[in-house]
């Protein structure tokens, strides 16, 4: 239960701060800026990794949980509880933002600019890079350690900086699902539910090709079905 509570709270903090920055940037006429939004996402993930990494691993993202499972670092029996906690935390955050800013049309939902296929490919590649970094710096299924937070937070901020204006740089199904449901912006949600999972799976394959040993090896105790 402590793990699930940590995932719920961590994902709540991620969505509340990240999409909240988008909403406030809209409400206050570019007061946060695109750079500020990207840094907000990176910094909140960095903070949650240091705060929660020893408890739940600070996945905060269904695609990351799937990636750890595909890399044989995470038990199948815990996937659904983790996903449920992450989605519930994200929904609570979007609900709070709706109460605070009821007139906002998107609540920070990720929407593609231009062709949907372009955003799909971007989201898959962005998540592939993110998951590869996570697998490379994490221990078993936990994002923890001196540099894990800096590495993961930096990648999220970097990818949001250059790709956010086109695809939203979600890399996280829960982060996209919650504001889309609360704001009723469902038209392109399929991109952000499928592409990150595809990218996370691709990262596992690349990790196996590059890293020898522990990158994608099972933990005997933690990865029993």
Distance CA(17)–CA(51), nearest Å, equals 15
pLDDT per residue rounded down to tens, the chain (225 residues): 899 999 999 999 999 999 999 999 999 988 999 999 999 999 999 999 999 988 998 999 999 999 999 999 999 999 999 999 999 999 999 999 999 999 899 999 999 999 999 999 999 999 999 999 999 888 776 666 678 889 999 999 999 999 999 999 999 999 999 999 999 999 999 999 999 999 999 999 998 888 765 555 544 333 333
Residue 82 and residue 92: Cα distance in Å, rounded? 15
Angle ∠(34,64,21) on CA atoms, nearest 5: 20
Domains of the chain, first to last:
2-216 (1.20.1080.10)
Query: 């840094």: which residue's tokens?
Result: 39
Residue 146 to residue 90: CA distance in whole angstroms = 27
């Amino acid at each position: 239960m402590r793990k699930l509570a940590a995932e719920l709270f961590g994902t709540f903090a991620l969505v509340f701060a990240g999409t909240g920055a988008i909403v406030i940037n809209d409400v206050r006429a570019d007061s946060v800026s695109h750079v500020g939004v990207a840094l907000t996402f990176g910094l909140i993930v960095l903070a949650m990794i240091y705060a929660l990494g020893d408890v739940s691993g600070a996945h905060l993202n269904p695609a990351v949980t799937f990636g750890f499972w595909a890399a044989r670092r995470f038990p199948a029996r815990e996937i659904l509880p983790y996903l449920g906690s992450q989605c519930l935390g994200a929904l609570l955050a979007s609900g709070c933002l709706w109460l605070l800013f009821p007139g906002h049309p998107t609540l920070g939902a990720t929407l593609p600019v231009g062709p949907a296929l372009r955003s799909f490919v971007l989201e898959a590649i962005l998540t592939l890079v993110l998951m590869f970094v996570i697998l490379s710096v994490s221990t078993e299924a936990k994002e923890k350690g001196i540099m894990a937070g800096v590495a993961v937070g930096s990648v999220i901020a970097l990818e949001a900086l250059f790709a956010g204006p086109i695809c939203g740089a979600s890399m996280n199904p829960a982060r996209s699902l919650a504001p889309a449901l609360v704001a009723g912006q469902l038209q392109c949600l399929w991109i952000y539910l499928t592409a990150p999972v595809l990218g996370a799976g691709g990262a596992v394959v690349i990790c196996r090709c590059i890293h020898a040993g522990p990158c994608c090896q099972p933990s005997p105790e933690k990865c029993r079905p």
